Amino acid sequence: MKNILITGGAGYIGSVLTETLLNKGYKVTVVDLFDQLESSLSYAAQYKNFSAKRLDVLDAKKLREFCTPFDVIIPLAALVGAPLCERHEVLAELINYKSIANILETKKSDQLIIYPNTNSGYGKMTDNEDFCTEESPLNPISVYGETKVRAEKDIINSGGIAFRLATVFGSSYRMRTDLMVNEFVYKAVKEKCVVLFESHFRRNFIHVRDVCKAFIHAIENSSSMSGEVYNLGLSSANYTKKQLCLKIKEQVKSFVIIENDISLDPDKRDYLVSNEKLEATGWSPDHSIESGIAELIKYYETFAPIKTANV
């Protein structure tokens, strides 16, 4: 039985990944600040193979000491998103890059690190490039993208596995309504309209549970995947903002879409992404953009969460 550590495991991806790994029979330990009034991992107390520790990844000494006994480390703790990282540049550097460097300082040769990067590291797509592949040049234009790209390089050099995540969507125990699909479906259900700026910008998307499936795939195929980076997204879901909204409108007929360039996207993600390299290893997604939209509609109609900031 592999012993797995997840930093930031109470977050949007981590709270779903923890459950997925436990149900697969893995032993899982979560490190997190657990700063929410209600834990997104309260369900996990029933699992005998689950444990948790309140620990700040900025405490370098404690983090390095704690990482030693694990077979697999999945460092999810991060300051996420371009706007948040721009507001807190020093903190973004410490969490997104320095905490990874601290983990790598004491990494044992037989430990596997699986790292979630963002495909925003590609920057703005050039006119002569059809698809971003893992060989495409990295040109991050935000503090968020830049810190994550540097950490990815160190992970790969250490023999780890890195995923460049598309924009994630789907319901979670620690919900985020600021992610594009989640936000637009929220607007369709709760506000009945959306105002789109830079509606021609293209993004790739991936369901949170398909992200978890990819992590398990990497654990089970680490001998052939180690030292490599993989785009992780839905090949069927390279959409512009407007195309995404039209997909949502197919299921929420009353959804009004207004185009008005009232703002600029600080992340500048505008590109098509190829996921063929990961698919060639045998991984495939289980969730389409259409089923994800239906799931989110049900979630918002049932639970009506208050919109949260990007935290």
Tens-place pLDDT, residues 151-195: 999 999 999 999 999 999 999 999 999 999 999 999 999 999 999
Contact 32, 14 (CB under 8 A): yes
Compare 305 and 26 and report the one with higher pLDDT.
Answer: 26
- pLDDT, mean over the chain: 91
SS3 content of the chain, % helix, strand, coil (to 5): 40, 20, 40
Average pLDDT, stretch 135-150? 88
Nearest to 82, CA basis, from 162, 167, 161, 9: 167
Q: Does residue 198 form part of some domain?
A: no
**Average confidence (pLDDT) over 34-57:** 90
Q: Give the 3-state secondary structure of residue 125.
A: coil
256-283 confidence digits (pLDDT tens): 999 987 766 655 667 889 999 999 999 9
Count of Cβ atoms closer than 10 Å to residue 16 Cβ: 23
Question: How many domains would you assign to the chain?
Answer: 1
Determine the structural domain holding residue 101 and report its residue range.
Answer: 3-170+204-235+274-282
Which stretches does DSSP call E strand in the chain? 3-7, 27-32, 50-54, 72-75, 112-118, 161-165, 167-169, 193-196, 202-207, 229-232, 238-240, 256-259
With a cut of 80, say whether residue 308 has pLDDT above it: no
What are the two backbone dihedrals, phi and then psi, of residue 238, each rounded to the nearest 5 degrees? -100, 95
**Which is higher by pLDDT, 35 or 104?**
104
Q: Tell me if 296 is assigned to some domain.
A: no
Question: How many Å apart are CA 74 and CA 76, to the nearest integer?
Answer: 6
For 104-118, what is the mean pLDDT?
Answer: 93
Residue 126 has pLDDT above 60, yes or no: no
Q: What is the pLDDT of residues 188-231, one digit of tens each?
A: 999 999 999 888 888 999 999 999 999 999 999 999 999 999 99
* CB 226 within 8 Å of CB 160: yes
Which of 202, 205, 186 is closest to 194 using CA atoms?
A: 186
Confidence of residue 61 (pLDDT cuts 50, 70, 90): very high
Judged against a pLDDT cut of 90, whether residue 81 lies above it is answered with: no
Helix ranges (H only) for 129-174 are 143-157
**Domain-embedded: residue 248:** no
pLDDT of residue 265: 64
Distance CA 281, CA 223 (A): 12
CATH number at residue 119: 3.40.50.720
Asked whether residue 303 is assigned to any structural domain, the reply reads no
Do the domain assignments include residue 181?
Answer: no
Domain assignment of residue 124, yes or no:
yes
Q: The tokens of 140 are what?
A: 């991050």
Residue 196 lies in a domain: no
> Over the range 113-148, which residues count as b (16 or more CB within 10 Å of their CB) and which as e?
bbbbbbbbbbbebeeeeebbebebebebbbbbbbbb
Name the pLDDT band for 310 (thresholds 50, 70, 90): very low
What is the helix (H) or strand (E) element at residue 66, kind and residue range? helix 60-67
pTM over 0.85: yes
Q: Is the pLDDT of residue 311 over 50?
A: no
Does residue 144 belong to any structural domain of this protein?
Answer: yes
pLDDT in tens, 227-254: 999 999 999 999 999 999 999 999 999 9
Distance CA 176, CA 296 (A): 11
